[in-house]
Structures are given as structure tokens and as C-alpha cells.
Chains A and B, each alone.
Chain A
Amino acid sequence: MYPAGMEERIAKVEATRERRLKEAFPRITLDEKTPLLRVFHPDYVDGAMREVLVGPNKGDCTPNELADLLEGNSRINPDEINLEAIDYDVDVLVIGGGGAGASAALLAQEQGANVLLATKLRLGDANTVGAQAGTQAADRPNDSPAIHYMDVMGGGGFTNIPELVEALVKDAPEVIQWLEQLGVIWDKEPDGSLHELSGGGASRRRLHSARDYTGLEEMRVLRDEVRNRQIDVLEFAPVVELILDDKGQAAGAVLMNLETREMSLVRAKAVVIATGGGGRLHYQDYPTTNHYGATADGLIIAYRAGAKLIFIDTMQYHPTGVAYPQQIVGQLITEKVRTLGAQLTNIDGEQFIHQLDTRDVVASAIIRECRERGKGLVTSTGQPGVWLDSPMIDIIRGKGTILRELPAMYRQFKRFDIDMTEEPILAYPTLHYQNGGILINADAATEIPGLFAAGEVEGGVHGRNRLIGNSTLDILVFGRRAGRSAGQWAKKAKLGSPSLDHVRRWQNQLKKTGLASTRPISPKLLPDYTRHGQTVGV
């Protein structure tokens, strides 16, 4: 049940539903897309970004909050660290315990490497578990990796790095099979064919799902496999700096015990960064769908070690974050709700954008509808939103579809007494994904020898806008590639003497430019939602 004032508004959505069920709302053209984004996409809001003042991306723009951290002060004083006192000596260190990190650890071990996986919270605490809609892979007869390639490039505004997209689309079917052999349960038809749906910007049905718990199912299995293969895992152990050797190769890392604050040292012949994104930095005060630990730590440590970043001026705002109830504002309403047929309508019950245009477009259109046209609904807490007409799903696809295909979504709203099979839900864009990140090649190698990156922390695969179902694909494809590459690198790597000179040089540069006294300590590690912090976290 909604409060009385909102209940009355729903009548307008219901009144147009029958007409809308037959209405074909046009998709946006490439010519219409650019001006819409330029005016309404959050990436283009004046004052929200600034140039980075130091480091490999000096002069490039990025959100203010990220720029401050990229220019931040180290958590360690290199002079106080004895690099001879090694606590863990391994072939491959994997930083991050989400889908990309777990995949990398498994593949590195298959190369014969002795692997340590260190992660900030628990193994599996990552955005992976919140991914709902599915994983793209072109495996149906009317589809092909080439068609998938075209969709990815178009979604990214034709800015993506071609060799990375090729890797993504070509490995995709293999990744689906790999997961199934590990015991992931894909949604299937009784004859064994995969039950695949489409999504925004996809021209074929190629989303492989596990109800709307796809990422959770993938992570549960990967985590269990990491444990079965007895890979060493250190939890509550974020990396605060990388260690290089005197030849500039990756040589290990400094870990911090998140509870005791004690530092420990890892020596490794190869390092994989798989730390995810930065939604918890709340760019422009947006709420986020992201995991509590998503504070861009991997970008910070890689950047300080000299790695080049790419597309750090583009973030993804998921079109449909929860706008009501207040307790869960900004949490994800999976795009699968729109895939299954739910349309977006304004306060008058009218469509204003095709629900399956790309995420950058749909998010911008919702912002335009609320801000410029005044056709959004504003809740009692001042939160704007548009309607997502979820009851259409069961009308189009048969009663019971929502309960079968969207149990997580149904449960989420039911906990707050809203039945999405009966009533529409209110949505507004929410900070969702870091489109860019550390520059890699198709082997997941960064520009620093021996340093690899996989998943949301890397950039170039998705250009300026990622499509639905390509993030869980990215973590698996590049997680596997990074693990394999790191395992192979470790076999032949000859480490020089370990060094934190890059941190010394960094701090000297901050002092010289006057930034040392004005910039925060980074990586940030955790957001602060205590009363004395600024915001109530969702």
C-alpha cells in the first residue's frame, strides 16, 4: 500500500494501461541521443567534475569526489615499513573477492600458481551478488558474437576498445558453459535450451539468468569453488598500497587488517586488481545500488603506482533505482522488469521513452521528465520519480511471471507492503557503475608489468556506457583472463628488490604542488554513514 496521496496518482497509470499495451513507443535515434545526454545525463552536469592535478591522468576530468581521492595521501609512511619482513610469499596475489577476483584466483591456480586472495570485507561481498538480470552471451542460432559486438559498441557510443570487446563477446558462450560445469543453475526450457531474454540496447535475446538472483548464484558457486580448491583467502584485509620492485614490476602489496589496523606485507610475482567500482563515493550526492565497500580503492592504488586510467569521466546511472519507499531509495530495480514488459510512465500515465533504450538514454529521459517537464511525482520526502508499470508483466506474459522471474524484486517491495504485481513502482536514476577504469589489454594486463586488472575496476570494454548483462560477463571473461595471464607471468617473472619508492615520489609530488595538506587519505576503504557523517546511507 502506498500513502493515500500516491494511491490516487496510480489511477492515472492504470487508466492508460490498456492503450499503452498496444502502443509502440519509438526508440531513440542516434541523432536524438547526443543532445539528450548532453543536457540531462549527470556526466554533463556543470561543476560535477574537474581535472585531476597529478599523476598519469593529469588534465583528465573525473567526478570531484574521485579526483580528491586520486590525489590523496597514502595511508602508509614507506620509511616505517620493513620490506624484508614478508608475511605472505605467493606467486599470485588477487585483490578483491567478488566475481572477478574469484574467477582470477581459480584460473591462476589452474596455471599452477600459489594464490592468495585478499579482500576488504568477506569473500563474495561485492557488487556481483546484487547483479540481477543476467549475463549476456550470444549462443542462440539467430545471434552471433558479431551481433553482440555491434550492440556493445553502439551502447558505448562507439568509444569502446575493439580488442576488449572482441574478447568479451567471443569468450561469452564459454563462460556460460564454465559456470554450468561448476554447478550454476541457468534458467532453461524443459528441452535444455537456455531461457534467454533481451535488455536495453541488446538486439537479441541473450541474457542468461538465474531468476533475478543471477549474480548471487554466480557468486555462491565461485566462492564455494575457491573454498573447495583451498585457495588462501584473507578477509577484512584491504590493500592500501602496491609494492613494486626496482625494475618497476608489480611485486606485492601492503595489506591492512580492517579491524586491528595492523599492516602486513605480501610478496607476489603477479598481482590482479579486482576491487570493483566506486558507487559509495556518491557522486553528485546520488544514492547508489553499490555494495558498502565500493569506494574505488583499486583505482587509487593502481594510479599511485603509475597505471593509466581511461573513461574516468563517465559513470553509469541506472535508470530505475527505487524512489519509494524512502528506506530503500537508490536500491536496484532490475532492468529485467522492463525487459519483461513494464513501461515507464510519467505522472499522467504517459510513456516518454522506450523502456529498452540504453541506460544512459533512459536515465537522462527520466531526469528530463522530472526536472524540465515537471511530469515526475515527488514523494513526501522530496524524492522525485516516475512510474514503472510492473503489473503489465503478468498481463503480457501471464499470471505468475513476476513471482517466477522476479522473486527478489517482489520480496523487496513486499517487505515494505507494496505488491508490484498489483501496483506500479516508483523509480529514479541511481549511481550504478563505473564505465571506465584501469587501462588493460585483451590479456587483462595493465601498463605496469606483472599487474593485471579485471571487472569493474578496469575500463575500455564498455566505452562510455555499459549494457545490461555485460558486467557479470566482464568479471568472468576478464577475471579468467587476468588469472590465466597472472599465473603464466608468475612462472617466468624474476622479481628485483621490493620498493615503495613510488609512494615516496607520490608524497613528494603532493607536497610540491601543495596538495598534501588539502587532500584526504586514500584509499577511502569505507563510507561513513554515522550521524556525524553527512548522509543516511541506503
Chain B
Amino acid sequence: MNEKAKMVDIYIMGKRYQVPEGLTIMQALEYAGYQLIRGVGCRGGFCGACATVYQVKGDPQLKYDLACQTVVQPNTYLVQIPFFPAEKATYDLEELEPTVEQILEAYPDLAKCFGCNTCTKSCPQDLEVMWFMSDALRGDISEVANKSFDCVMCGLCAARCPQGIVPYNIALLCRRLQGRYLAPRTKHLEDRLAEIKAGKFDAELEELENMSEDELRRRYAERDIEAA
């Protein structure tokens, strides 16, 4: 990424800049002189802050990606979507049940989905958004949770939905219902919590805390290690 690299043209909100080839979209914006405040976050593909819509000259199709994870193409027109006022239902998870009725009560617009698949096409994680919206409509919460699990909540699906549906928030509600109500309970976790409450480990922890460093080192070196 040195200064001698071949330069390519990019357009930020329509204005032309020259940047070295091979940069990510985010690095290109910064090279052009923008110290970003919006549209930047973890820079590792997890936070969804840098959702970007772009078009390459000569190709009318809009493209959707995360700016931190995508190499900028020559003659790209970039549009950052730093904020979109997507609706989020307010609910008390403790008072919900894992049913389609509850999902529709929180997000009634879900019923208006006409299957255009724009959400899926706009997902930078390549998730099957329209399919998990149809799972949600059928009340198959586990399937929504499974298919939507890698969602970074960038919001592009909601920004592009012609019916005003908010797929990423609907999927979040479904995942929380899955974790709270549908995932199988864990006996060994409950047992351990009871043991801790009963003070089972207190004496041993106290002994370790007051142990000399030499003795602690000796015990550490001798401890058995379970296979990974």
C-alpha cells in the first residue's frame, strides 16, 4: 500500500478522488481525507457500522458490503448508510411466549412481506434474509435463530425493504426467544450454581488466595490438563 501503487478513481457522494488500488473501501475513504466518525466501528466485520451501498460505473446493479471487509473497485460510487431510523419494538422478554402471535404483535409489518427478496440481496453477510422472514411468519423461531445467527445488524435489509419491514430486529427478537424459551436447559450449570450458593468452593478458594507464590507455582505446574 505504498505511494507508488497504481491509483484508481472512486466517487464519494459523487465527488471524484484518486486512491491507491488494493485498499478496502474504508481505507479508501480515509486515504481521501475523511477522518470517519460515522460509518466506522470494529473494522473487523462484526459491528455493522460500515454498511456501504455502491455502484460500479457501467453496472446499474447496486452492491452492498461492509466497507472494512471489501476491496474498493475502480470507478466505484460509494454511499455510506451511517444511520437508518429502523423501528424497534420495546418488550419485556419475561412476559413473552415463543409464538408467531408475539412476533406479529411486536412487528405487525412482517405480515406485509411479498417475497421480493431485496433483503437477501442487500445482506453483506450473504444471509438468507427473506427465507428467515418466511420462517418467522410460520412461527419457526428456531429456524430464524439458526439462519440469522451471523447477522451483524447493519440494517441494510430494513433500509431496502419496500414494505418497511425490519428483518434484523425481528430476527433479534426470535433469537432472544430461542435462547430464553426454546433452548434445552442445562443441568450441570444449575448444579454448579447451587454448589456455589452453598459455599462448596469457598474454603478451597480461600486457601488458594492465601497460598505462597512458590506453592501456587508448584500446584500450577502439576495440574492436569484436559484435552481441548
Contact = CB atoms under 8 A, between A and B. Distances in A.
A116 B195 CA distance: 36
Interface string B113-131: 0000000000001100000
A415 B188 CA distance: 39
Contact of B188 (A139, A149, A528): A139
A247 to B, nearest CB: 33
A224 B170 CA distance: 12
Interface in B182-226: 183-193, 196, 201, 204-205, 208-209, 213, 216-217, 219-221, 223-226
A536 B205 contact: no
Nearest to B195: A144
A331 B153 contact: no
Interface stretch (A75-83, A203-211, A480-488, A506-514): A203-211
Interface string B137-163: 000000001000110110000000000
Contact of B125 (A190, A199, A332, A411): A411
A418 B131 CA distance: 28
A182 B176 contact: yes
B172 A149 contact: no
A124 B47 contact: yes
B1 A529 contact: no
B84 interface: no
B69 A415 contact: yes
B49 interface: yes
A145 B201 contact: yes
Given A185-B183, A186-B179, A192-B186, A170 B196 contact: yes
A199 B220 CA distance: 16
Nearest to A191: B184
Interface stretch (A39-47, A53-61, A173-181): A173-181
Contacts of A170: 196, 201, 205
A166 B204 CA distance: 11
Contact of A138 (B1, B44, B192): B192
A21 interface: no
A292 interface: yes
Interface residues of A, number: 98
Contacts of B213: 158
B221 to A, nearest CB: 6
Interface stretch (A3-11, A64-72, A213-221, A265-273): A213-221
Given A291-B47, A327-B27, A526-B37, A193 B193 contact: no
Given A30-B220, A536-B23, A198 B188 contact: no
Nearest to B206: A166
A121 B45 contact: no
Interface stretch (B7-15, B28-36, B55-63, B73-81): B28-36
Nearest to B89: A228
Given A122-B49, A142-B226, A173 B208 contact: no
A69 B226 CA distance: 43
Contacts of B208: 146, 149-150, 153, 162
A139 B228 contact: no
Interface in A324-363: 326-328, 331-332, 339-341, 356
Given A289-B44, A291-B42, A531-B32, A236 B92 contact: no
Given A30-B220, A129-B47, A258-B37, A197 B30 contact: no
B93 A183 contact: yes
Which of A129, A142, A162 has the most C-beta atoms of chain B within 10 angstroms of its own C-beta?
Answer: A129
B223 to A, nearest CB: 5
B40 interface: yes
A220 B172 contact: yes
Contacts of A292: 36, 40-43
A188 B43 contact: no
B150 A407 contact: yes
Interface in A375-427: 381, 407-408, 411-412, 415-416
Nearest to B187: A192
B90 to A, nearest CB: 5
Given A183-B93, A415-B69, A291 B183 contact: no
B90 A526 contact: no
Nearest to A259: B37
A298 B33 CA distance: 27
A319 interface: no
B134 interface: no
Given A192-B184, A213-B149, A326-B22, A530 B30 contact: yes
Contacts of B187: 192-193
B88 interface: yes
A415 B70 contact: yes
Contact of B224 (A186, A203, A224): A203
A186 B43 CA distance: 25
A536 B179 contact: no
A138 B41 CA distance: 32
B162 to A, nearest CB: 25
B41 A122 contact: yes
Given A139-B193, A183-B178, A531-B30, 4 more contacts: A174-B196, A408-B150, A532-B33, A536-B23
Interface of B: 1, 22-24, 26-27, 30-37, 40-47, 49, 69-71, 88, 90-93, 125-126, 145, 149-150, 152-153, 172, 175-180, 183-193, 196, 201, 204-205, 208-209, 213, 216-217, 219-221, 223-228
Interface of A: 27, 29-30, 121-122, 124-125, 127, 129-130, 138-142, 144-147, 149-151, 153-154, 158, 162-163, 166, 169-170, 173-174, 176-177, 180-186, 188, 190-194, 197-199, 203-205, 210-211, 213, 215-217, 220-221, 224-225, 227-228, 230, 236, 258-259, 289, 291-292, 326-328, 331-332, 339-341, 356, 381, 407-408, 411-412, 415-416, 526, 528-533, 536-538
22 contacts: A121-B37, A130-B42, A154-B220, A173-B192, A180-B180, A183-B175, A185-B149, A185-B179, A192-B185, A197-B228, A198-B226, A203-B224, A213-B150, A215-B46, A220-B153, A224-B176, A228-B91, A291-B47, A327-B23, A328-B69, A412-B45, A537-B26
